[in-house]
Structure 1
Amino acid sequence: MRLFSSILLFCCFIASLPGQNLARKVSFSYNRIPLKRVLDDVSADFDVYFVYSPEYIPITQPVSVSVSNVALSEALDKLFDPLPIAYKPIGGQIVLRPVEKNPPPRITNKTIPKEIDQQSPLYADPRMEEIIAERKKRWAGSSPTISGRPTPQQLNQSATSKKTEDLQATRFEPIIIESTASIEEEVAAPVFVSSTADTLSVVEKKKPVSRLAQISLLPFLGTNFTESARMTNRVSVNLLWGRNGGVEGLEIGGLMNSIRNDVHGIQIAGLGNTVGDDVFGTQASGLFNVARDSLIGIQGSGLFNILGQGYAVQGAGLFNVANHDFAGIQAAGLFNVAGRDSRAVQLAGLFNVSGGKSRLQVSPLFNVAKDVENGQVSAIINVARRVNGVQIGLINVADTVKGVTIGLLNLVRQGYNRVEISASESFYGNLAFKIGVKPFYNIFYLGARISESNNSSNNGENIKELTWGLGYGIGTAFNLGKRTLSNLELISIKINEREGWTKPLHQLHQFRWLFDWRLGRRMSIYMGPTANLLVSSRKDPELGTGGSELVPKTLYDKVDANKRSQGWIGFNAGIRL
């Protein structure tokens, strides 16, 4: 049932991938620009996702290309034509592979017609050993007696005459030299020609061979024996642990499955799956899955999943790691890590890290990403360079935000960061710091006033006493015109009246509606009404419970058993830097 669910999920995932529209019109121009930058620009400008391995694709090589209003396919042909790179659209991405555009001539075993004579074969005739033995016997029986020392010219003429006679007397199986032009055709394995004193031999590199099925107990202890590392099987069954060249179908292992090359299909193992190159399909295991190059499909394991780059869904009990480019979904019990250029949705029990773009990150501790397209949600901290969406957390840190950051502390370098100096009817001097973005910012407030005490000093002068307040608030700002804007703010202020710290409840809540006029690039003035509500259980000797000198004429005054609530309309004005 789990296998069926995984396959169904994979099918739905692949079906939902947006295909690359190679017919769309594009325009771009580059002159000796590194290939990596060109691919990044094309990906960002035309919503094209490239999958490749930096170890095999020359991403640092400068390229020069210029196209104007041509189809994407034509533009890519022109871009990759001078490079040893072939591309192929698969699902929602374009896969890049290294390829030899002008391969050397290929040597095959095809014979040419017998009427065509060939005097210098590259392959040894099967009868060579018999022919050599016969020539040695004939030469031994008819060797002339040398009465004198021959000259070097005589020796050279004799050797040339014998070689010509031997080649004319023997007919060899000739060969044809072919060349391949298609970049998608697999280049044949190289052929090495060697020569010894008696014979010519040809050694051909062993190529991967496809088999219908195999069964093994341990590596090289199965139906493919010592050839298993170069065999690609449609069905592979490893009772304990198996090592094979590739899979084009299904592989099941009791403990481990190890593949040297590629997997096109499904891998299922009790402990783990490892693949040396690419995976197009599904890996499922009890402990771990590893795809060293790229993966397009699904990885599911009890502990962890690791891949080089991919367009995939990863699910693990502990963690998921994508070392290079990644697009898709990562879900783990502990953490997720995605590499350089990533467009991932990451869900983790502890934290998420993305070296590139992140569509969405959700975790209880922290999220870190280079760019965020939709959002970051964390209980503690979110960190990103550019945010085109929302950040929700206790602390949010970003360089640029096109959206909103919601938290106790929002640090945005290129955001709405202001310092205010103002006055009001309650506090004659106010200092406020506002940080965040216009849709949502934090306010840190400090206010103070000096009053004369009813008590006198020894020389008869009234004593000056300090009343001060410390507060926090939130606000939003929206533009009214080119040089004007309006602020709506909520602030709660702890009042410490005529003492260092007032222990009883003595809290002032304010709603401010302010209007801002910008005077210069870095300065503006503002003013506006405020709605005030003071809630206090402090007992004043002269004013009674909840009494305060901060309160002017009230519009609302209610006394309960242990506290007093008083409301009034005030005014606030100041300078904003």
Structure 2
Amino acid sequence: MKKILLLFLISTLTINLKSQNSSVPPLEREVTLSISNESVPFVLNAISQQTAVVFSYSPNVISTTNKISIDVNAKSVRHTLNTIFTGTVKYKVRGKYIILQKNDAVAKEEVVVEGYLYDSQTGDKLTNATVYSKEQKVSTLTDEYGYFKLEVPTDAANPELKVSKEGYADTLLSPISGNLNYVNVELSTKQKIEETPLLIEPTVEKEKNRIRMPEWLIPNRLLINTKNISDTLFSKFQFSLIPFVSTNKLLSGKTVNDYSLNMTIGYVQGVRKVELGGIANIVREDAGYCQLAGVANVVGGLAYGFQGAGTFNAVRQMSGIQAAGVINFVLNDADYIQLGGTGNFVGGKFTGVQVAGIFNIGSEMSGVQVAGVTNLTGEAEGVQVAGVHNHAKKIVGTQVAGVINNTDSLDGVQVTSVFNRAAYFKGYQIAVINYADSCDGIPFGLFNFVRKGYHKIELSADEVFYSNLAFRSGVKKFHSIVSVGIRPENLDNPVWMFGYGLGTTLGKSDKYLFDIDLTAHQVMKGSYFASRNSIYKFTLGLDRKISPKTSITFGLTYNIYVTDTNSKYYSDTFSSLVPYSFTNSTSSNGNNVKTWVGGKIGIRFL
């Protein structure tokens, strides 16, 4: 029974070992050996027993009589073979077979460097580490077993190879010589600097103010190299078909070029003079002086000079001229000129001229904004012009819009056809309707309302209409007057009027103020409306305060009454509406004009 159980355990272990080995490439299977003074075939047989590989070779490839000693612990078959043969034998893999062949010392165009990378503290194999030649622009990545193989052109004069991995200190490989070099390299982790609040905050802020690169367009191998390598490489010129088919090869993400030409999409660290892209230019850091792309430019740092794209430009900071068919996006500050077919966006301060088909958006602006629909900014100094709407939290300058201007603080002028709104303004508002919470200026419009301004409800009587109600709104210097009045003797079909006018109130006395009003009134009888039936008044009045919110008013008026003698009620009503006249004349077209001097008296509230 015990023998059966032992056989079962051995069989199970053997099956598990074979299963594990079958999933690992033959050259990467681990070997542990400690053999002294034995032949090479004996050692190869020992490796085969542990790894389930089969070696195939001709007798003239290896010596069967020479004795060797070897001591390896959990090393790969590849490492073990290199230890045994020291580059005199090369090998090919066919399934579970490893074919050993003589490595003839023939001059080659490339020097081969291969080996493994380990963590110096843990001994773990390091995957996705970059081994590269800065001069030759060649590179490779370690695979999942920490193995790498790099071919370096032999025309390189003492090529310098570096090993880099994110989080580890860069390591320089020993000068390479001969056609085959096998190395094992241990990398040390970078020492972490103790973080303090003063060091943390700028780092966090820098991450927030970073343009997100469209990494989904970039091959993973190129991205890994870019993250691993700390060096900056330089090139006079680079040409690429696609991001990884480039004269800078898989090091393009760490290369700064003077000139860059990309047939489709380019991916580089920086451009110092000119870059052209058929589809898109992606620059991780700065770009200048000219960048043109069929679809898009994306710059992670400063773009300076001219930037033009068929669809959009996205940069961290801009200094120069930016033109896009759809939108320009700047994360931080921008200077000089932005031209967007649809819109412009600046996350920081913009200084210069922004022109967009639909919108301009920014946190701060100094200069000129022109948009087909809307301008939106935090603080502005200069001019905002929009087809529909302007908004600025604070503006020093001028807002001109087709429909609406809006701001919390204005020092300047608002002009629009419909509505101006300002929490506070110093200057002028010009629109049909003007609204402000408070002001140190004048609103000009058909209706002006300043919440902390001048508001009066007036009940008055004059020689034509004995009962009048008016509302004055705006500021003392300039306010609108809306009024209605009625003659109460025939309320079934009354004579009444509605009117609008403008007024100014002068004086600084606590009790006496002086009014100058100019108003126009349409005279009606019941629902009958005649186009020429109006009274125009020029009023000089006095306002006497009798309590904090009450005053009496009286004044003289100069009146002009124009009416149509052919109207329905002219003979029995409108002709005798005026108590007397200085002048009374009728023109050939039937218009009767009367003038007279009258008066009014009233009481005001608020």
Question: Given the two structures, how large is their TM-score scaled by the length of structure 2?
Answer: 0.56
The 8 Å contact of residues 350 and 362 in structure 2, kept in 1 or not, is answered as: no
- Corresponding letter in the other structure for 1:518: K
Residues 1:378 and 2:416 are matched in the alignment: yes
What SS does structure 1 have at the residue aligned with 2:579? coil
Where do 1:357-376 residues align within 5 Å?
Answer: 357=395, 359-376=397-414
The 8 Å contact of residues 449 and 473 in structure 2, kept in 1 or not, is answered as: yes
Report the Cα distance in structure 2 between the residues aligned to 1:219 and 1:545, rounded to whole angstroms: 93
1:261 equivalent in structure 2: 301
After superposition, give the CA deviation of every residue in 1:160-191 in whole Å (9 maximum; x if it has no partner).
xxxxxxxxxxxxxxxxxxxxxxxxxxxxx997
1:486 equivalent in structure 2: 514
Q: How far did residue 229 of structure 1 move?
A: 4.2
What SS does structure 2 have at the residue aligned with 1:361? strand
Where do 1:404-419 residues align within 5 Å?
Answer: 404-419=442-457
What SS does structure 1 have at the residue aligned with 2:368? strand
User: Number of paired residues?
Assistant: 380
Match for residue 355 of structure 1 among 393, 398, 423: 393
The 8 Å contact of residues 536 and 546 in structure 1, kept in 2 or not, is answered as: no
Residues 1:496 and 2:524 are matched in the alignment: yes
Q: How far did residue 549 of structure 1 move?
A: 3.5
- Corresponding letter in the other structure for 1:209: T
What SS does structure 1 have at the residue aligned with 2:485? strand
Residues 1:426 and 2:464 are matched in the alignment: yes
Residues 1:209 and 2:232 are matched in the alignment: yes
The 8 Å contact of residues 211 and 233 in structure 1, kept in 2 or not, is answered as: no
Report the Cα distance in structure 2 between the residues aligned to 1:363 and 1:429, rounded to whole angstroms: 40
Where do 1:437-452 residues align within 5 Å?
Answer: 437-451=475-489
Between 499-508 and 207-216, the greater mean CA deviation after superposition: 207-216
Between 251-260 and 509-518, the greater mean CA deviation after superposition: 251-260
Report the Cα distance in structure 2 between the residues aligned to 1:517 and 1:314, rounded to whole angstroms: 52
The 8 Å contact of residues 212 and 233 in structure 1, kept in 2 or not, is answered as: no
The 8 Å contact of residues 168 and 187 in structure 2, kept in 1 or not, is answered as: no
What SS does structure 2 have at the residue aligned with 1:247? coil
Report the Cα distance in structure 2 between the residues aligned to 1:334 and 1:464, rounded to whole angstroms: 51
Q: Which runs of 5+ in 2 are unaligned?
A: 1-67, 73-164, 172-183, 192-227, 255-268
Match for residue 315 of structure 1 among 305, 330, 354: 354
Q: Determine which structure has more spread, i.e. the larger CA radius of gyration.
A: 2
Match for residue 511 of structure 1 among 534, 538, 542: 538
- Corresponding letter in the other structure for 2:544: W
1:287 equivalent in structure 2: 326
Q: How far did residue 272 of structure 1 move?
A: 2.8
Where do 1:215-234 residues align within 5 Å?
Answer: 215-217=238-240, 218-230=242-254, 231-234=269-272
Going from structure 1 to structure 2, the CA distance change for 1:296 and 1:209 (only over 3 Å counts) comes to farther
1:549 equivalent in structure 2: 576
What SS does structure 2 have at the residue aligned with 1:548? helix
After superposition, give the CA deviation of every residue in 1:199-220 in whole Å (9 maximum; x if it has no partner).
4525596458374655455545
1:337 equivalent in structure 2: 376
* Identity within the alignment, %: 26
Between 305-314 and 521-530, the greater mean CA deviation after superposition: 305-314
Q: How far did residue 538 of structure 1 move?
A: 4.5
Q: How far did residue 308 of structure 1 move?
A: 0.6
Going from structure 1 to structure 2, the CA distance change for 1:208 and 1:436 (only over 3 Å counts) comes to farther
Tell me how large the CA RMSD over aligned residues is: 3.5
- Corresponding letter in the other structure for 1:511: F
Report the Cα distance in structure 2 between the residues aligned to 1:371 and 1:379, rounded to whole angstroms: 20
Residues 1:303 and 2:342 are matched in the alignment: yes
Going from structure 1 to structure 2, the CA distance change for 1:445 and 1:212 (only over 3 Å counts) comes to farther
Q: How far did residue 530 of structure 1 move?
A: 0.3
Q: How far did residue 331 of structure 1 move?
A: 1.0
Going from structure 1 to structure 2, the CA distance change for 1:190 and 1:226 (only over 3 Å counts) comes to closer
The 8 Å contact of residues 270 and 283 in structure 2, kept in 1 or not, is answered as: yes
Q: Which runs of 5+ in 1 are unaligned?
A: 1-136, 142-188, 453-462
1:477 equivalent in structure 2: 505
Question: Given the two structures, how large is their TM-score scaled by the length of structure 1?
Answer: 0.59
After superposition, give the CA deviation of every residue in 1:384-434 in whole Å (9 maximum; x if it has no partner).
211211111122222112211111221221121110111111111211101
What SS does structure 2 have at the residue aligned with 1:566? strand
1:387 equivalent in structure 2: 425
The 8 Å contact of residues 166 and 229 in structure 2, kept in 1 or not, is answered as: no
The 8 Å contact of residues 354 and 360 in structure 2, kept in 1 or not, is answered as: no
The 8 Å contact of residues 564 and 570 in structure 2, kept in 1 or not, is answered as: no
